[in-house]
Amino acid sequence: MNSIRRRLDSLDAQSSWPFARLLTLTGFSWAINAAEFVLFSFTRRIMVVSMAKSSMTSIRLAIHVLRPFVGGLFIGAIVGAPLFGRIADAKGRRWALLLAKTLSLLGLTLSALARKDYELIAARILTGVGFGGELPVSAVLVHELAPKPMRRRMVAMLQAFTGVGAVVGLVLAWVVEPRFGWRGAYLVLCVAVLYVGVLCFVFPKSPRWLASAGRVKEAMAAVETLERAHATRVEYNRVPEDAVRTEELEASESETLVETVMPSVRDSTVRLWTMWAVMELSGYALGVYVPVLISLWGFNMFSRWTTRVLLGLAQVVGSVLASMMLEEVGPKKLLVRCAASAALIAVILSYAPWNGPVVVVGTCAVSALLAASWSCVLVYAPANFSTEARGRGVGYAFGFSRLGAVIGSWLYPRIFNIWRMSVPAVAWVFAVLLVMTVLWVGLPFEHSSVESKESDEPTDLKTADKVDEEEDGDLSVVINRGKSHKDE
């Protein structure tokens, strides 16, 4: 495993066609997810009217189905993300990604063909299961295939595709839907998913996962394929397979021992999952719900396609800037700075005059900073888990984020309509919640008493290698690999 890791990390850090293709095809999952969400936000009332006419029910009665329509995608993702995370750990990253894309394609196709409201709700839940599997698995795949010098940049850039997808969704809503109807717009998404799904068969399997699963020959072949694509001299061409397999067995045994004595494993995982849920809950409130409330008395940011395109471009800019600053600042520090800045600007915007320029600049700034924060979270999450548990760890984290979205869709209307909170009060509540959570995650904390004793005296869990040998002082190490003192 160590030889495979070294060979992957020794690949040229410059941009190359294999890695550009990897980033583009995996990022497409994020773009389609955002495009479908934007398209649905524009066409959901048209869809409800269409369902009412086809089922011979009143439009007023059909309006009550809107809320299940909205929540269907999130509910599906809550199930799909952990499910496909486990599949990725058990069967492989590429296999899980292709299966998730198949479910997404099936769900989008059924959405376009649905004639009843319950058919559309079921189709959106199925689409959510597929999207919930695609996004975390694609992040894990990029993390494991990218060499160390460019790993953070590539994973962070996945979030930029959300902004691209938002612009694509606007094009579908403003250009395709008026001419071909909402069903035609959804069929365009289906064709795009099918095309990219076929291209995903060219993905190499993750050598790290193959080695951890004991499939050493396939892992070596996958590494050599990447090396040939980069014209890299193969320096470890004759590494004995038995040695690689022995390293994996020793690592697995030591991880089991370390997990029994390290309470920080559970602590770090709880922090990570909580952060994803709060980021989704507070991020949507500050970036979308507060501007929506402002539009009731001031400038409406979401009524014009030009301002919505600016929001999508702001997300792209925020993610690109974050990817450029990650190596210098570090994911956790950059996360704290970006999230705190977004919270501060959102609070200031709630008190500022709600005219056009102020609302546009303020909302775009919040959107860019939140996108940068999500880029940091995407980089931070996979690095906290060993190869054997990475799919499950990131999958459950993504599932918790969608749980936060479901809670938010229930909570936001009640905050303003029932509890009668003012716009500044709403901004303060979610700003404080966001800042407190990222500080809780971002502040350094001790991982284990075992680590503090390593330099003083021998122990039965003397650490040999960190997870993926990729972490520095900025990222927490959840599981260490080692060997017993008596075997040295």
| Residue 353: predicted pLDDT | 93
Tokens 């066409």 — which residue?
43
What would the two tokens of residue 429 be?
């509540």
Quote the pLDDT of residue 50: 76
pLDDT tens digits, 6-21: 777 666 666 567 788 8
Burial of 198 (0-12, 13-18, 19+ CB in 10 A): exposed
Question: Which pLDDT score is estimated for 63?
Answer: 54
- The CATH class for the domain spanning 263-445 reads mainly alpha
Task: Give the per-residue pLDDT at 67.
Answer: 62
How far, in Å, CA of 183 to CA of 98, rounded? 24
Label residue 81 left, alpha or beta by phi (over 0 means left) and psi (-120 to 50 means alpha): alpha
Comma-separated ranges of CATH 1.20.1250.20 domains in the chain? 1-230, 263-445
* pLDDT by 10s per residue, the chain, length 488: 556 777 776 666 665 677 888 898 899 989 999 999 999 888 888 887 777 666 655 545 455 555 666 678 899 999 999 999 999 999 999 899 999 999 999 999 999 998 887 888 899 999 999 999 999 999 999 999 888 888 899 999 999 999 999 999 999 999 999 999 999 999 999 998 888 888 777 777 888 888 888 888 888 887 777 777 665 544 444 444 444 444 444 444 343 333 333 446 677 788 889 999 999 999 999 999 999 999 999 999 998 899 999 999 999 999 999 999 998 999 999 999 999 999 999 999 999 999 999 999 999 999 999 999 999 999 999 988 888 899 999 999 999 999 999 999 889 989 988 998 999 999 999 999 999 999 998 775 434 333 333 333 333 333 333 444 344 333 333 333 333 333 33
Predicted TM-score of the model (pTM): 0.82
What pLDDT is recorded for position 115?
84
Phi, psi dihedral angles at 447 (to 5 degrees): -90, -40
Confidence at residue 212, expressed as pLDDT on a 0 to 100 scale: 84
Q: pLDDT digits over 29-87, tens only?
A: 899 999 999 998 888 888 877 776 666 555 454 555 556 666 788 999 999 999 999 99
Q: How many other CB atoms are there within 10 angstroms of residue 187's CB atom?
A: 18
Is the separation of the CB atoms in 265 and 479 below 8 Å?
yes
- Give me the CATH code for the 1-230 domain, please: 1.20.1250.20
Q: How far apart are CA 163 and CA 370, in angstroms?
A: 12
Rounded Cα–Cα distance for residues 5 and 223 (Å)? 9
Cα separation, 421 vs 413, in Å, equals: 10
Instruction: Report the distance separating Cα 482 and Cα 154, nearest Å.
Output: 29
Distances (CA, A) of 24 to 30, 85, 358: 10, 21, 34
